Amino acid sequence: MGTAKINVWIREPNDCTVSEMDGYAWARPCCTKNPQIYQAPLKKGHAEIEVPPGCYVVDASWKPGCCGTAKETVIIVGCGDTACANLIREYAGAPIRRLTSLVNHAREAKIPEVKIKEMVDLLEKIAKTVPEEKIERFSEKELDLKREVSDVPHKKILDEFEKILKRK
């Protein structure tokens, strides 16, 4: 049977340069019938994974205790193909940008406000332990754009947590 290769490149979020981080990259088939996970060491932001032809969800993470993970993507490769997956590195502070969705989903799930406040407080504590330059926050323009396209519940959350979400 022929194989294919997926080259995984990890990019820094601010300037898209290749990350210097080491860790692991893996590809898991999009089809749940095959639980096989293919993995390769990630060195200086690059890994090459050999896989059978197919559709894969590609992801990566750093060695334990080091700075975060990457955003996953989907890659489709045929027999003999080589495909490149460029993943954007995420830092420990990335969940701050997702706070509005997290709170909205928690409220839709009828999670008590006291529990939601505990979660938000925990995220604020985590944000204080991470260097400020590693926390992904919204610029004023990004916040304005989010408000324009958001439904009423999301707009309320944006207003409620603006101090946490906005770049200083």
Counting every residue written for the chain, the total comes to 168
What is the rounded CA–CA span in Å between residue 87 and residue 131?
Answer: 22
User: What's the pLDDT score for residue 129?
Assistant: 72
Please say whether the beta carbons of 54 and 29 come within 8 A.
Answer: yes
From first to last of its 168 residues, the chain has per-residue pLDDT tens of: 689 999 999 988 778 899 888 888 889 898 767 678 899 999 999 999 999 999 998 988 876 544 456 778 899 999 999 999 998 877 655 556 567 777 777 888 898 999 988 888 887 777 677 666 666 666 677 667 767 766 777 777 777 777 776 666
What is the rounded CA–CA span in Å between residue 76 and residue 20?
Answer: 26
Q: Find, among 144, 142, 137, the residue nearest to 166 by Cα.
A: 137
**What's the pTM value of the predicted model, to 2 decimals?**
0.61
Q: Would you put residue 7 in left (φ > 0), alpha (ψ -120 to 50) or beta?
A: beta
Domain boundaries, the chain: 4-88, 94-165
Q: Which CATH number fits domain 4-88: 3.40.190.10, 2.60.40.1120, 2.40.160.40, 2.170.190.11?
A: 2.60.40.1120
